[in-house]
Copies of this chain bind each other. A is one copy, B any other.
Amino acid sequence: MAKKEKKGITVKKDENFSEWYTQVVERAKLADIRFGIQGFIVNMPFGFSIIRKIYEYLEEEVEEDNHEAFLFPNVVKEIDLKKEKEHAGFNPEVFWVSEVGDKKLEERFALRPTGEAQIYPMYSLWFRSYKDLPFKGYQSRISVFRAEKTTRPFIRGREFLFFETHDVFNTHNESLEQIKKDLEICNKTIRDKIKIPFLFFKRPSWDKFLGADNSFTPDTVLPDGKRTQLASTHDLGRNFSKAFGIRVENENEEEEFVWQTCFGPGISRIMASLISIHGDDKGLILPFDMAPIQIVIIPIIFSEKDNKPVLKYCVDIEKKLKEYKVKFDNSENSPGYKFNEWELKGVPIRIEVGPKETKDKKITIVLRTGEKKSIKLDSLLKEVEKSSKLIDKNIEDKANLYFKNKTKNAKSYDELKNIIENYKGFIKVPFCSVEKDGEKCANKLKEETAADVSGTLYPKEDKILKESKCIICNKKAKHIVYVAKSY
């Protein structure tokens, strides 16, 4: 017989998160990292099915918000990339296509590190009048390419899965409204459907996207304690419209530069957070609607004579469940082996059927989140419906509890330093300023604790007491900020 692959997770998530993560990605067959080019992974069917769901949620919401889908090439002209760099300081590690066949290309071009430099030159051609605006465009199921030094599947890749909106307005006010709508999209998708809790930050001025007037990010914390940015939305002001010459005629027939925002959820990062936050020592845990297999039916047969009636009963059950994604696991493996395999893959509902269940027209239902009960065949659909909701509620409650414990307060720098070492999460502290003049304190913090200032809560900042002092410089504190180590 062919050699069996290693199955099951052999480390505890709490004890060795890094190894746990690697094992889940590999053994639940989410991605294959043996593609052979650093930072480029293969999204295997099981993992890609989950990723596609993330894309579908986002597509649905941005279309509801009147975005139109377009698709740009995977490449970008050097001259456009330079224009972005000069005006916005964007300077990634870019991959260059510089040869074709056996020849050097006359004009090399880059694999796109992000969309701005390829999209905005076209925007400068597409709009003529203020009546053409607002325009909201997006592209989904695309990749961006950056030569990151260290790579981990979904967390940091050289090709990573992307989604981006690029919106154009006549007024700054509309841009600011859009930022709030982008937050709402994050709420409806990442929080409500994917069930990843996050805080929505306005980033400090020294850590915003350099082409933006302000950057906003929903950030969560992975079990290793590092802050992970799940998306970003930027108030681009008129910085890019000036760099790329995106103008329209206003009502008075004068040419004006447009106002822009862009929004980019990091699909790979959301996937990484989904794996890390919901999963347990047995493997993946998935919200019911996101699971590639929602229900697995496992026959439990003790003797030859049970074989036929039990399998027939399983088929009957499978037929009743045709509106769900069901796997009837009729393989030769032992029930225990099957339990482990489908738990590893996060299948929300397991149905166990033995001779007793078959005789009594009953079914044993086991939820991935732990609950177990015996039900009547007649009530199957009702119980599945109930169970799917219960699972989602369990996942949500667990994630919220997890995240609630990820925020502590510190009133002084000493207190901060005392708790930061082994603490995994955000620390709320009073801070002098999130504008340029606060950067010195942030640098000191970073040097001495390896932690960053994530930003202030948005849209409703935490209230700060009048007498609060910055934990670093001891001057008057203007903000409560959230400090964390980050990816």
Contact = CB atoms under 8 A, between A and B. Distances in A.
A126 B42 CA distance: 12
A466 interface: no
Interface string A140-182: 0101010100000000000101000000000000000000000
Contacts of A331: 131
A69 B95 contact: no
Contacts of A73: 35, 37, 40-42, 143, 159
Interface in A60-78: 68-75, 77
24 contacts: A1-B249, A2-B128, A2-B249, A3-B128, A32-B122, A32-B125, A35-B73, A35-B122, A36-B121, A37-B73, A42-B70, A42-B71, A42-B73, A42-B122, A43-B71, A43-B72, A45-B68, A45-B137, A52-B69, A73-B143, A93-B101, A95-B99, A96-B100, A97-B97
A111 B97 contact: yes
Given A37-B77, A77-B36, A122-B34, A70 B96 contact: no
A48 interface: yes
Contact of A100 (B77, B94, B249): B94
A253 to B, nearest CB: 7
Contacts of A34: 122, 125
A98 interface: yes
Interface string A113-150: 00000100110011011010000010001010101000
B97 A159 contact: no
A19 to B, nearest CB: 21
Nearest to A92: B101
Interface in A12-51: 32, 34-37, 40-45, 48-49, 51
Contacts of A96: 97-100
A308 interface: no
A248 interface: yes
Number of copies: 2
A69 B159 CA distance: 18
B72 A42 contact: yes
A75 B97 CA distance: 11
B100 A37 contact: no
A136 to B, nearest CB: 10
Contacts of A141: 141
Contacts of A248: 2
A393 interface: no
A147 B71 CA distance: 20
A137 B49 CA distance: 12
A97 B5 CA distance: 34
A440 interface: no
Interface in A296-337: 331
A209 interface: no
A34 B72 CA distance: 12
A45 to B, nearest CB: 4
A325 B157 CA distance: 38
Contacts of A77: 35-37
Given A32-B125, A70-B48, A72-B42, A108 B99 contact: yes
A109 interface: yes
A143 to B, nearest CB: 6
Contact of A40 (B69, B75, B125): B75
